[in-house]
Amino acid sequence: MLRMTHALIAAAALALALVPAAHAADATRVALVPGGPHPYFAAWEKAGQDAKKDFNLGAADYRVPQKWQLSEQNSLLESLLSQGYNAFLVFPGDPVGSNATVQELTENGAPVIATAGCLKEPTTALFCFGTDTGHSAYLGTKELIKAMGGKGRIAHFTGFLVDPNTQLRIDAVEQAAKETNGAVKVVQVIADIDAPGPAEEKINAYLAAHANDVDGIITTAWVPAVVASNALRRIGDKRIKMVAIDHDPVVLKAIKDGFVNGTMLQNPYGQGYIGSYALDRIRHGCKVKKDAPFKTIALTNRFIDSGTVYADKSAVDNYVGAMQAITKTIFAGFEKTYLDCP
């Protein structure tokens, strides 16, 4: 009995030691929540830390669901609200399936910005702040077609089908090819491969069997870009042109070495930094302008482009500078352009 009493006291002491520190009621506590573990979102962690310091936030924590699964993300978001986070940057696990949870967050007084991916309207999220993925894929394909001399066959390697951006990317690549009046054809789309296992298996198998049948590769997701860069390095003849996405060191090295022509840079740091700032301003009385110059994309008519830029061999060394320049430009005019503040 005595032993049990000691155990219970110890458990209670442990529990009390783990009680989070009390936070000022009005401090903005931002949670930056991606759809699951993915290297693209790694920049959100630094963005949150910088935003916390620069804007004096109560917290700006990067919290990752264990798996790339909607139910895991929903559980985490619900839990974070209970833990006292009062503002959310969320990459929606599903453009509709995430809406119910987002609505619960906003009904409990926590503003939400759909970040890096959009929610389908109607949604209670303030707006969507991310890469215009369709436009980025379109521009990347245009660059690829230019590198291919305006004709040839393209293979497109892309991300999770559950990612709201994937279909937009597939459509955009098709659109860019169509504009060549048949000179360029998309001969293969391989989707659902934004993870090392499936990407290695499917891209390598495809290139082993069909490398001679394609003249260009466009990748519109992080992991396929890395795997395809390595595959082209192994093939080694540089006949196949490729435009990648994002800034993985493998991709950047392949661009420098001439195996990949260039990459479409996105701005995850800017999304996390400016998004945290916007949430804090909203929590302190600002409103989103009704007549703000939002873009309209397939999912929403309240879209803000976080910027994208093509970086080839000449620009690849300064990719960080390029991303920071985009962030600086958007940040400078953000409040004036999109918010009404007292």
Partner 1 sequence: MKDSGAVRPHEAMTSGARARFAGAVLTNEFGLVLLILLFGMLFALGTRGFASPFNLFTLGRIMAINIMIGYSMMVVIVTGGLDLSVGAIGVCAAMFFGWLSQRLGLPLVVTIPGALAMGAALGAVNGQLIVRSGLHSFIITLATMSVFFGFMEFVTRAQAFRGLPPAILAVGRMRYFGYVSPLLLVSAGVGLGLSALYRLTPLGREMLAAGANPAAAELSGVRVKRVIVQCHMLAGALAGIAALMAIARTGAAIPSMAGDLGQDWLLPAFLGPVLGGALLSGGRVSVLGAFLGSALVSELTNGLLQFRVGEFWVQTYLGLLLMAAVLIDLARRKLVARLGVAP
Binding-site ranges for partner 1 (CB under 8 A):
11-12, 14-16, 18-20, 37, 63-67, 69-71, 74-76, 78-79, 81-84, 94-101, 103-104, 108, 120, 161-162, 192
Nearer to partner 1, 162 or 315 (CB): 162
What percent helix, strand, coil does the chain show, rounded to 5?
50, 15, 35
Least CB distance from residue 298 to partner 1, whole Å? 13
Q: Which two tokens stand for residue 147?
A: 């590198």
Choose among 209, 165, 149: nearest CA to 299. Answer: 165
Least CB distance from residue 49 to partner 1, whole Å? 17
Least CB distance from residue 316 to partner 1, whole Å? 32
Nearer to partner 1, 95 or 268 (CB): 95
Cross-strand partners of 79: none
Least CB distance from residue 334 to partner 1, whole Å? 30
Least CB distance from residue 240 to partner 1, whole Å? 28
Nearer to partner 1, 16 or 333 (CB): 16
Nearer to partner 1, 135 or 198 (CB): 198
Nearer to partner 1, 170 or 323 (CB): 170
Least CB distance from residue 269 to partner 1, whole Å? 21
Which segments within the chain are labelled E, that is strand? 29-33, 59-62, 87-90, 112-115, 128-130, 152-157, 184-190, 216-219, 241-245, 262-265, 287-288, 303-305, 309-312, 339-340
CA–CA distance from 145 to each of 116, 178, 217, 339 (Å)? Answer: 26, 11, 10, 39
Strands 241-245 and 216-219: parallel
Nearer to partner 1, 26 or 291 (CB): 26
Least CB distance from residue 20 to partner 1, whole Å? 6
Q: Is 59 helix (H, G, I), strand (E, B) or coil?
A: strand
Q: Provide the 10 A C-beta neighbour count for residue 109.
A: 10
DSSP letters for 256-322: HTTSS-EEEE--HHHHHHHHHHHHHHHHTT-EE-TT---B--SS-S-EEE---EEEETTTGGGHHHH
Q: Which two tokens stand for residue 185?
A: 């054809």
